[in-house]
Amino acid sequence: MTTTSLTLREVRTPDDFAAIAAVLSAADPDWPATPELLQAEDEARDRQLYFTQRVAEQEGRVVGVMHAGHDDFAFEPHRYSGKIVVHPDARRQGVGSALYAEALRVLQAREQQEQLGRLVLRTMLPDSEQTGIHFLKARGFEGVWQRYDLRLHTARVDYGTLDALEPRLQQAGVRLVSLASLAGEPERDRWLWALDWQLFQDVPMGQTLTQRPLEAWVQQELLDPMFRPELSFVALRDGLDDPESGPFIGYTTLMQSPGGFYMIGMTGVRRQDRGLGVARALKLASMRALQQQGGGEIRTYNDAPNVAMRRMNEQLGFELAVIRRRYELTLQTGAVQP
């Protein structure tokens, strides 16, 4: 498909990853991408779910990328999550519009084949991306969800709070250990996978969640190149032998972005073990481990209804940096227009 000097084509993996990473990094320098991360993400993708992606080229140079597909974290056959990114040098030249039209063409054709009757498109943007938000709203997208991006530096954390919590946890038979130290436990991954699914049932995310298969979860979470097991901690209760999660009662994970900052992936504690300060202790243990390695900025993300977790994060010193919103568009199959 060609529009003047613009050519759209399917992505060639892994050959296009370097060019795609360059576009993503130029469009959002705060969240740089690398070919290695893109390849790892591609290898971890569930091949049973639908996924498509295109690049836009001008005179042989990749200037834009589009991807859309089923979300294995919240799978619904008629709903697709995606994104369109255009290099800053190529904006206002119809690149984004062409990629969007191509996405609609491909997804509409698939929906007609599957006869599901409707098509729901979903994406997320920070409030600072006014050009992208205008692009979405002009095509009928509406903001349906709000997420807070909170940040702090480990040098500003009061670790005395953790020292005060540890005796209480010890009295309750709870220990905090790094996931790296549990690498020799053959059941670690299965216990953590089961606990993760249990904990996510209580996270208000505005969508119906689906559990990923164990193998896919491990590949996407624990084998993610950004994952730092020595900075991620699990809370375990001595003597507990839950049939699904073993002795694990809570955990927190930390990942390191190519941009140099760190991200909390998940922090949670079983319902029956809340009230002891386990979640707070897990976060503090992770932050302290990072500080002992030189420190750095940590980012965490709270959906708007998750008031309790946001309040705890703010008490730890996290400050609001960015508001992100999820946008959705619902179309009846056969009525899709670019």
Query: Do both 137 and 270 map to the same domain?
Result: no
Query: Do both 93 and 242 map to the same domain?
Result: no
Cβ-defined contacts of 333-338 (< 8 Å, 24+): 333/108, 333/111, 333/112, 333/115, 333/116, 333/117, 333/118, 333/119, 334/108, 334/112, 336/104, 336/107, 336/108, 336/119, 337/104, 338/97, 338/100, 338/101, 338/104, 338/105
pLDDT of residue 146: 96
- Cβ atoms of 75 and 49 within 8 Å: the answer is yes
pTM of the model: 0.91
Query: Do both 134 and 248 map to the same domain?
Result: no
| Bridge partners (DSSP) listed for residue 248 | 236
Cis peptide before 186 (omega within 30 of 0): no
| Bridge partners (DSSP) listed for residue 175 | 236
pLDDT of residue 233: 98
Please state whether beta strands 262-269 and 297-303 pair in parallel, antiparallel, or not at all (unpaired).
Answer: parallel
- Residue 252 inside a domain? The answer is yes
Nearest to 194 by CA among 158, 218, 228: 218
Beta strands in the chain (DSSP E): 2-3, 6-10, 51-58, 61-69, 79-86, 118-126, 142-153, 174-178, 233-237, 248-256, 262-269, 297-303, 319-332
In whole angstroms, what is the distance from residue 333 CA to residue 111 CA? 6
The helix/strand/coil state of 314 is helix
Query: Do both 88 and 222 map to the same domain?
Result: no
Query: Do both 294 and 190 map to the same domain?
Result: yes
In whole angstroms, what is the distance from residue 115 CA to residue 97 CA? 26
Query: Do both 25 and 108 map to the same domain?
Result: yes
- Residue 104 inside a domain? The answer is yes
pLDDT per residue as tens, the chain (338 positions): 444 589 999 999 999 999 999 999 999 999 999 999 999 999 999 999 999 999 999 999 999 999 999 999 899 999 999 999 999 999 999 999 999 999 999 999 998 888 878 899 999 999 999 999 999 999 999 999 999 999 999 999 999 999 999 999 999 999 999 999 999 999 999 999 999 999 998 888 788 889 999 999 999 999 999 999 999 999 999 999 999 999 999 999 999 999 999 999 999 999 999 999 999 999 999 999 999 999 999 999 999 999 999 999 999 999 999 999 999 999 976 554 54
The whole domain housing 252 covers 158-316
User: Which CATH number do you get for residue 214?
Assistant: 3.40.630.30
Query: Do both 239 and 165 map to the same domain?
Result: yes
- Residue 183 inside a domain? The answer is yes
Query: Do both 188 and 117 map to the same domain?
Result: no
pLDDT of residue 205: 77
- Cβ atoms of 194 and 314 within 8 Å: the answer is no
How far lies 243's CA from each of 29, 194, 250, 278, in Å? 45, 10, 15, 21
Query: Do both 136 and 188 map to the same domain?
Result: no
pLDDT of residue 180: 98
Nearest to 303 by CA among 145, 174, 197, 144: 145
Structural domain total, the chain = 2
Single-letter residue type at 271: R
